[in-house]
Amino acid sequence: MTRTAVIAGVGPGLGESLARRFVTEGCQVGLLARSANYLDGLSADLGEDALAVPTDVTKRAEVEAAFDAVREAFGPVDVLVNHASGGAWKGVTDITPAEFDDALAVSARGGLLCSQAALPDMLDGNGGTIIFTGATSAVRGRGGAAGFSAAKFAVRGLAESMARELGPRGVHVAHVVIDGQILPPGAGSNGLPRGRDEYLDPDEIAASYWHLVEQDESAWTLELDLRPHVEEF
Amino acid sequence: MTRTAVIAGVGPGLGESLARRFVTEGCQVGLLARSANYLDGLSADLGEDALAVPTDVTKRAEVEAAFDAVREAFGPVDVLVNHASGGAWKGVTDITPAEFDDALAVSARGGLLCSQAALPDMLDGNGGTIIFTGATSAVRGRGGAAGFSAAKFAVRGLAESMARELGPRGVHVAHVVIDGQILPPGAGSNGLPRGRDEYLDPDEIAASYWHLVEQDESAWTLELDLRPHVEEF
Amino acid sequence: MTRTAVIAGVGPGLGESLARRFVTEGCQVGLLARSANYLDGLSADLGEDALAVPTDVTKRAEVEAAFDAVREAFGPVDVLVNHASGGAWKGVTDITPAEFDDALAVSARGGLLCSQAALPDMLDGNGGTIIFTGATSAVRGRGGAAGFSAAKFAVRGLAESMARELGPRGVHVAHVVIDGQILPPGAGSNGLPRGRDEYLDPDEIAASYWHLVEQDESAWTLELDLRPHVEEF
Amino acid sequence: MTRTAVIAGVGPGLGESLARRFVTEGCQVGLLARSANYLDGLSADLGEDALAVPTDVTKRAEVEAAFDAVREAFGPVDVLVNHASGGAWKGVTDITPAEFDDALAVSARGGLLCSQAALPDMLDGNGGTIIFTGATSAVRGRGGAAGFSAAKFAVRGLAESMARELGPRGVHVAHVVIDGQILPPGAGSNGLPRGRDEYLDPDEIAASYWHLVEQDESAWTLELDLRPHVEEF
C-alpha cells in the first residue's frame, strides 16, 4: 500500500530517519521545514518519492499551501508526523514572553495547523495516522525549561483531545514520548560526549513510528515512550 | 500574618470565593480581570482590603501595571492565583487557529506574565505561593475541546516547571485539578439542572487553596484534585 | 465535633505525629501496630483519648478485634489512616517471594482489612474518611525496590477503586504521596546526614492529613503529594 | 533468529494469539497455564515448536520446574510474557480477603516468580524481553473491582521497578495497557453483544507485543496502550 506522508519539522536526526523509513516502506513523503537548503539536499537524496516544501508551520497560509503542494504531487495525505519543536530552554525567571509564545506556536499551533490541513483527506473515508513527537518534558515539567515544558504539555493535551475526537472517525492519533538524547547526525562511536548506547538511534525510533502507522484500528496506541536501555528515568 | 494576594482572572464563582476567603484570612487582595464593572462591584463589597485592577492578563504592560498598583496599595505580593481561563470549547475540526491561540494566551501566557510580575517580590527573601487553577482537561485531553485541553495541559507543564525551578528558592507553586462543575453563583438548591451535591462548592474549593497557602515549606503539595463526592471519574 | 480515628501502622515519625494532631483536633484515637511496648508508651503520653491495640494488620481476626476494641472505647470509627508499610528494599533479582508477599500483605492486604473493619461504621449514615499513606514509589516504580514498588502501587490502585466505589456513599478515600524522607524522630538540627530542610516535618504532613479529614464532601481530594521545598523531583 | 519464549497464563484469546504469532516469527514457545486439557489442545495445534507445561504460576516450585522443562526442550529463555490474571471482580465491601490475596498472587506474585525463573538466562549475556499484560485498571483504579485494581497496579509497579533495574543489564521490560474488551475466541461478526469494531482483535494486540520484542535496545518502550478505535476513554 502506497501512502502519502507529511513530516512537519523535518531536520537532520529523527525527522530525516522518519523520511527515509517512510520512503523505504513505500510512502511518498512531503518534507516541511523552514530551511529550504536543508530540505533540497534531503529530497534530492531521497529521490522522486520526496517533495521539499519550505514552510513555516506557524503560518496558516504557508501550511495550507504546503499541503496543497504535497497533495498535488502525491495525492491525499494518509500520514502526518508533527515533529516541529522549538523554544528557548529557559526558566520562568529568564524566558521572555515572546520566547514562550514562540515555543507554543511552533509545537502546539503548528501541530494544530498541520493537522487541520491534513484532516480533510483523512476524514474522507480513508482514515489516516497523525503522530506527535513528544518528550519527557511533555509528561513531567522540567525546571529551567518553562516554555519547552508548557509547549510539550500543550502538544500532548492536543494529541489526547484529537485522539478521542478522531478515533471513532478512523483517524489514529498517537503521541510518542522520547526520553533521552537522540544520536547526533553523522556521529561515529567516537567524538560523542557520552557512550553511544546512551543515545536513541533515530532509525530505531522510526521503526516504532512505522509500527504505529501499521497498527490495525482494532488495537491502536495513543502513547508510547522510547528510551535507550541504559537511560536513568 | 497579613499577606498580599493577587487573583488573576477573578469572576463570579471560584474567583470571588477565593477573594472572600483570602480577605477573611487577613489578606489584602488585588483583583485582576477584564471587566471593570464586575470588579468594582466585588471590590466595593469586599471593602478596603480589595483593589480592583481591570487587566487583560495576556498583555504584558497591563499585567505589570496591575502588579505595580497592587504593590503600591498593599506592598509586595505574597500569593498569586493564576485563575484566568478561556478559549472556545471546540474540537480540532472546528476550532479556528485564532481561538486556539486565544486559549493558550489567556491560560498559559497569562499565567507566565502574572508569575513574572509577582516573582521579584517572592524571590526577595520572602517566599510566596503561586497557585494555578487546573481542570480535568489538564490531565486528560478531552475530545471536542482541543484548545481548552492544549491550554490546560500547557498550564500544568508550566506549573510543574516552575515548581521545580522555584521550590528551592522558597516559592511554592501548586496546581489544582478541579474535576466537575462549580456551583453557579447565586444558585439556590432549586433551579439547578443537576442536584446540588453534584457541584463543587466554590467556598470549599477556596478552603483547599488556602490550605496550600498555609503549607509549611517542609511539606509542600504540587498537585491536588478536587471533586464532588458523587462525581464519576 | 469529636471523631474516632484509627491509625493503623503507627510508629515513631509520621504515625505518631498523626496521632498527636488528631488528638489535638478533638479525636479519640485507636493506635494499631505490632509493637505493644511502643504503643503503650505513646498512648500513655497521649492520655485518655488514645487507645493502644497491638495488632498485626495482616491478620483478619486481629484487625476485627482491634476495631471492636476501639469502637467499644470511643464509638463508631470516623477516620482511618492506613499507614502500615513494610517489605524488603530489594530488586527483582534479590527479593525472595516471601519478602515480596510480605510487602503486599502489610500494605495492601492490611489496608483492605482495616478498611473493611471500619466501613460498616462509615456506611451507616455517618460518612467517614480513609487515608492511605503512599510514596513516590506508588506512582513511579523504583529500580531495586521491586516489592516496595508493587506494594505501594497496589495500595494506590486499591485507594482509587475505593474512592470511586465509596465516594457516592459518603466515604472520602484519599491517597497521599509522600515524596522524600521524613525527619527522624528526636532529630535536632545536628546529627542529620542531610540538612534539616531536606526532610519532611511529620507534623506538617499531619496538617495536610487533617485538611483531608476536614474537606467538605463537595470538594474532596483523591490524591495530593507532599515534599520538602528543596526536594529534586 | 530463533527465540525461546514463555507465555505464562496462556488461554483462549490473547494468550493463544501471542503463542501463534511467536511461533510464526520463529520462536519456540513454552505454554504455561493451569489447565492441562486446554494446553494440550493448543500445543498439538501449534506443533513441535510449542511445549505445554501445566503450571500454577503462584507456586514457586511449579514455576521453576516449568522453566526447566522449557529450557530443556528449547534452550535458554529469551522472551517472557506475564499474562496471567485473576481475581474476583468485586468492590471493597464485597471482596473477601482470600479473593483479594488471590488476585495479587496470580498477577503480581506470578509475575515475580516467572521473571525470577527466566532472568538467569537473560542476564547471562543474551538479554531478553519481559512483557506484562496490563489493563486500564492498572492506571486508574476501578470502582467495584478492588482486588483487580490493586493487582493490576501492583503488576505495573513491579514492571516499572524491573525496567529500571534490568534495562542497563540488557533486559527489556514492558507493560501493555489493554483498554477495552478483547474479541472472544471463535466470535464471528454475529452473536457479539457489541459491534465487532468495539473489540480488540487479539492477533493485532500480538503484533504490538511482537514489535516490543523486536525493538532495538537504543529505543525501548516501557509502556504502550492499546484500544479499539471506537473505544471511549
Element (H, E) at D38: helix D36-46
| Confidence class for position B87, pLDDT limits 50, 70, 90 | confident
**Which neighbouring-strand residues pair with C214?**
none
Running DSSP on this structure, what letter comes out for residue D50?
E
pLDDT digit string (tens) for C117-135?
A: 999 999 988 899 999 999 9
Inside any domain, residue A232 = no
Q: Does D20 touch chain C (CB under 8 A)?
A: no
Give dist(CA B140, CA B131) in Å, integer.
Answer: 20
Q: Parallel, antiparallel, or unpaired for β C79-82 and C128-135? A: parallel
Q: What is the pLDDT of residue C190?
A: 65
Residue of chain C nearest B229, judged by CA positions? C167
Of D69, D70, D11, D59, which is closest to residue D36 (Cα–Cα)? D11
Phi, psi of C76 (to 5 degrees): -55, 145
Residue of chain B nearest C202, judged by CA positions? B219
How distant is the Cα of D99 from the closest Cα of chain A, in angstroms?
A: 31
How many beta-carbon contacts under 8 Å exist across A and B? Answer: 158
Q: What is the pLDDT of residue C227?
A: 98
Give dist(CA B67, CA B60) in Å, integer.
Answer: 11
Residue the block writes with cell 471482580? D89
Q: Which residues of C touch B208 (CB under 8 A)?
A: 211, 215, 219, 221
Inside any domain, residue B113 = yes
CA distances from A180 to A135, C129, D171 (A): 8, 42, 18
Q: Does A91 touch chain B (CB under 8 A)?
A: yes
Q: Does B40 touch chain A (CB under 8 A)?
A: no
Per the structure block, which three cell numbers stand in for C227? 515534599
Give dist(CA C48, CA C190) in Å, integer.
Answer: 34
Inside any domain, residue D86 = yes
Cβ–Cβ below 8 Å for B158 and A161: no
pLDDT digit string (tens) for B183-195?
A: 998 776 567 888 8
Q: Is A146 helix (H, G, I), strand (E, B) or coil?
A: helix
Inside any domain, residue A231 = no
> Which of D136, D160, D224, D225 best probes binding to A when mutated, by most A CB atoms within 10 angstroms?
D224
Task: Share the mean pLDDT of chain B.
Answer: 95
Residue the block writes with cell 493577587? B6
Cβ–Cβ below 8 Å for C160 and D149: yes
CA distances from D187 to A17, D12, D18, D196 (A): 41, 12, 18, 9
For chain C, the residue count is: 233
Inside any domain, residue C115 = yes
Would you call A26 exposed, middle or buried from its count of C-beta atoms within 10 A (0-12, 13-18, 19+)?
exposed
Contacts of B200 (CB under 8 A, 6+ apart): B178, B180, B181, B182, B183, B226, B227, B228, C218, C219
The answer on pLDDT for D171 being more than 80 is yes
Cβ–Cβ below 8 Å for B92 and A119: yes
Running DSSP on this structure, what letter comes out for residue C58?
T
For the segment B117-131, the average pLDDT, to the nearest whole number, is 95
Running DSSP on this structure, what letter comes out for residue B220?
B
Cβ–Cβ below 8 Å for D138 and C156: no
Residue the block writes with cell 489514529? A172
> Which segments of chain C are extended strands (E)?
4-8, 28-33, 50-54, 79-82, 128-135, 171-178, 181-182, 199-200, 223-226
> Which of B106, B149, B161 best probes binding to A when mutated, by most A CB atoms within 10 angstroms?
B161
Using CB atoms and an 8 Å cut-off, which of residues 185-204 of chain B contact chain C?
197, 199-201, 204
Q: Does C136 touch chain D (CB under 8 A)?
A: no
Give dist(CA C29, CA C209) in Å, integer.
Answer: 14
Of A196, B194, B227, A207, which is closest to residue C215 (Cα–Cα)? B227
Residue the block writes with cell 475505593? C162
Q: What is the pLDDT of residue B190?
A: 65
Residue the block writes with cell 527483582? C92
Cβ–Cβ below 8 Å for A215 and D204: yes
pLDDT digit string (tens) for A169-194?
A: 999 999 999 999 999 987 765 678 88
Structurally, chain A folds into a number of domains equal to 1
The CATH number that applies at residue B115 is 3.40.50.720
Cβ–Cβ below 8 Å for D220 and A201: no
Where is pLDDT greater, at D221 or B124? D221
| Confidence class for position D193, pLDDT limits 50, 70, 90 | confident
Give dist(CA B1, CA D191) in Å, integer.
Answer: 69
CA distances from A51 to A16, A193, B146, D93 (A): 13, 34, 30, 62
| A208 closest CB neighbour out of D215, D228, D230 | D215
pLDDT digit string (tens) for A126-179?
A: 899 999 999 999 999 999 999 999 999 999 999 999 999 999 999 999 999 999
> Which of D63, D85, D132, D153 best probes binding to C when mutated, by most C CB atoms within 10 angstroms?
D153
Give dist(CA A30, CA A52) in Å, integer.
Answer: 6
How distant is the Cα of A156 from the closest Cα of chain D, in angstroms?
A: 15
The answer on pLDDT for C188 being more than 80 is no
Q: How many CB atoms lie within 10 A of CB D192?
A: 14
CB contact at 8 A, B204 and C218: yes
| Confidence class for position B14, pLDDT limits 50, 70, 90 | very high
Element (H, E) at A80: strand A79-82
Per the structure block, which three cell numbers stand in for A22? 517512510
- The radius of gyration computed from the CA coordinates of chain D, to the nearest angstrom, equals 17
The answer on pLDDT for D85 being more than 80 is yes
Inside any domain, residue C233 = no
ipTM computed for the complex: 0.97
For the segment C100-118, the average pLDDT, to the nearest whole number, is 97
**Which neighbouring-strand residues pair with C29?**
C5, C50
Residue the block writes with cell 502546539? A108
Tell me the percentage of chain D whose pLDDT exceeds 70: 99
Domain that holds residue D80: 4-226
Q: Parallel, antiparallel, or unpaired for β B50-54 and B171-178? A: unpaired
Contacts of D215 (CB under 8 A, 6+ apart): A204, A207, A208, D172, D221
How distant is the Cα of D202 from the closest Cα of chain A, in angstroms?
A: 8
| D119 closest CB neighbour out of C93, C115, C149 | C93
Of C154, C75, C52, which is closest to residue C112 (Cα–Cα)? C154
CB contact at 8 A, B174 and B160: no
Q: Which amino acid is at B69?
A: A
**Which neighbouring-strand residues pair with C199?**
C181
For the segment D41-53, the average pLDDT, to the nearest whole number, is 96
**Which neighbouring-strand residues pair with B50?**
B29
**Which neighbouring-strand residues pair with D181?**
D199
Would you call A104 exposed, middle or buried from its count of C-beta atoms within 10 A (0-12, 13-18, 19+)?
buried
Contacts of B43 (CB under 8 A, 6+ apart): B31, B50, B51, B52
Give dist(CA D165, CA C87) in Å, integer.
Answer: 18
Give dist(CA B77, CA B5) in Å, integer.
Answer: 6
Give dist(CA C110, CA D100) in Å, integer.
Answer: 11
Cβ–Cβ below 8 Å for D162 and C154: no
CB contact at 8 A, A170 and A185: no
Q: Parallel, antiparallel, or unpaired for β D128-135 and B199-200? A: unpaired
Report the greatest alpha carbon distance in chain A: 51
**Which neighbouring-strand residues pair with C132?**
C82, C175
CB contact at 8 A, B4 and B74: yes
pLDDT digit string (tens) for C132-186?
A: 999 999 999 999 999 999 999 999 999 999 999 999 999 999 999 999 999 998 7
The answer on pLDDT for D188 being more than 80 is no
Inside any domain, residue C80 = yes
Q: What is the pLDDT of residue C125?
A: 85
Residue of chain A nearest D201, judged by CA positions? A218
Give dist(CA A205, CA A192) in Å, integer.
Answer: 19
How distant is the Cα of C19 from the closest Cα of chain D, in angstroms?
A: 26
How distant is the Cα of D92 from the closest Cα of chain C, in angstroms?
A: 6
Cβ–Cβ below 8 Å for D220 and A229: yes
For the segment C54-74, the average pLDDT, to the nearest whole number, is 98
**Which neighbouring-strand residues pair with D54?**
D33
Q: Parallel, antiparallel, or unpaired for β D79-82 and D128-135? A: parallel
Packing angle of the helix pair D110-121, D146-166 (nearest 10 deg): 20
Give dist(CA D123, CA D130) in Å, integer.
Answer: 12
| B161 closest CB neighbour out of A119, A146, A157 | A146
Give dist(CA D149, CA D167) in Å, integer.
Answer: 26
How distant is the Cα of B77 from the closest Cα of chain C, in angstroms?
A: 20
pLDDT digit string (tens) for B129-173?
A: 999 999 999 999 999 999 999 999 999 999 999 999 999 999 999
Cβ–Cβ below 8 Å for B153 and A151: no
Q: What is the pLDDT of residue B176?
A: 98
Would you call A96 exposed, middle or buried from its count of C-beta atoms within 10 A (0-12, 13-18, 19+)?
middle
Give dist(CA B216, CA C183) in Å, integer.
Answer: 14
Inside any domain, residue C232 = no
CB contact at 8 A, B169 and B123: yes
Q: Which residues of B touch A149 (CB under 8 A)?
A: 157-158, 160-161
One DSSP character per residue, C180-231 reads: SEEPPTT--SSS-SS-GGGEE-HHHHHHHHHHHHH--TTSB-SEEEEB-TT-
The answer on pLDDT for B182 being more than 80 is yes
Per the structure block, which three cell numbers stand in for B198? 453534584
Of C177, C164, C161, C178, which is closest to residue C220 (Cα–Cα)? C164
Give dist(CA C85, CA C92) in Å, integer.
Answer: 19
Where is pLDDT greater, at B156 or D196? B156
Phi, psi of D26 (to 5 degrees): 95, 10
Q: Which residues of D touch C95 (CB under 8 A)?
A: 112
Task: Share the mean pLDDT of chain D.
Answer: 95
How distant is the Cα of C130 from the closest Cα of chain B, in angstroms?
A: 14
Give dist(CA A77, CA A4) in Å, integer.
Answer: 5
Give dist(CA C203, CA C185) in Å, integer.
Answer: 11
Running DSSP on this structure, what letter comes out for residue B222?
S
Give dist(CA A68, CA A59) in Å, integer.
Answer: 14
pLDDT digit string (tens) for A80-98?
A: 999 998 878 999 999 999 9
Q: Which residues of A touch D164 (CB under 8 A)?
A: 232-233
Give dist(CA C105, CA C88) in Å, integer.
Answer: 12
Q: Which residues of B touch C200 (CB under 8 A)?
A: 218-219
